[in-house]
Amino acid sequence: MEIKKVMVVGAGTMGSGIAQVCLTAGLNVVICDTFAPQLDRAKAGIEKGLGKLVAKEKMTEAEKAACLTRTSYTTDMADGADADLVIEAVLEKLEAKQDVFRKLSDLVREDAILASNTSTISISSIGSVIKNPERFLGTHFFNPVPVMKLLEIIRGLRTSGETIETIKAFGKKLGKVCIVSKDSAGFIANRIGSPMLNAAANAYDLGIGSREDIDAAMQFGWSHPMGPLALIDLVGVDVQVAVMEVLYAEYGDPYYKPAPILKRMMAAGMLGRKSGKGFYDYTK
């Protein structure tokens, strides 16, 4: 099946980014959020995002206008019942996601594909409430979606090979590099990347190097676009701790234990860029 119409459920940071890349790939998009003011924010964000592409001459005004006519906004998932693919991007809670999929299971066509943008929750657990689990999988986009090239596809225990192939073709159309991961905590990218950030925080705590030197080590020795401590500040110290807690709970290996300094920073309200202070000071 070729994906032509997509519904995105949850129009926050990730949902609006996913909607934007689907639009620029020529697809029809229904954007659903239960919180109506969020739809206005998503609309403004998408228009701004498309405007930037016009300014950079990556898109014409006419193409932007065509994208906008292919978009609709709603608070009712029934308005996207005829979508070929539904991508859920609501909050990172199993019950909230299962609630969405329980309803979607009754709404969508039998041959529609359902996907979750979860960054940590098991795809097989979310999929347990779905009527056709072979048509369900994880589509883990990275933030900001229009910029980050990776699409991590997660194969649940019951996901069919055909579903994986359809989503690989969809990801390619979006201009993404697609990888496929087993349904295992952290999938591929966070299982490898998050412990590295954690190790950088521990190295800083032990006084192995200054924050600038630790960041420079990975930037200039390993060609990372930004240093790990600066990246924790961008991701959010609380988010990094939450990811490590999921990995530690699943694998029980001390390698995944959240760095104590991150927990102290959380207690002190030093969450990174969003709170103004993290490893670096963003208040000046």
Which residues contribute to the site for ligand NAD (CB under 6 A)?
9-15, 32-35, 38, 89-92, 96, 100, 117-119, 143
Nearer Cβ to ligand NAD, position 71 or 203? 71
Q: Strand 150-155 vs strand 177-182: parallel, antiparallel, or unpaired? A: parallel
Nearer Cβ to ligand NAD, position 79 or 92? 92
Supply 71's token pair.
């978009």
Name the minimum Å distance from CB 114 to ligand NAD.
14
What is Dmax (Cα atoms) for the chain? Answer: 57
Nearer Cβ to ligand NAD, position 32 or 203? 32
Is 176 buried (19+), middle (13-18) or exposed (0-12) by CB count in 10 A? buried
Name the minimum Å distance from CB 246 to ligand NAD.
11
Range 158-162 contact pairs with CB under 8 angstroms and sequence separation of 24 or more: 158/124, 158/127, 158/133, 158/134, 159/123, 159/127, 159/133, 159/134, 159/135, 160/134, 160/135
Question: Among 127, 239, 132, 140, which residue's Cα sits nearest to residue 181?
Answer: 140
Helix (H, G, I), strand (E, B) or coil at 209: coil
Nearer Cβ to ligand NAD, position 203 or 237? 237
Nearer Cβ to ligand NAD, position 96 or 157? 96
Name the minimum Å distance from CB 2 to ligand NAD.
25
Active-site residues, by number, are 119, 140, 152, 190
CB closest to ligand NAD, residue no: 12
Name the minimum Å distance from CB 14 to ligand NAD.
3
Question: Among 116, 15, 133, 26, which residue's Cα sits nearest to residue 74?
Answer: 15
Name the minimum Å distance from CB 112 to ligand NAD.
17
Side-chain half-sphere exposure of 136, counting CA atoms within 13 A: 26
Instruction: Tell me which amino acid residue 56 is.
Output: K
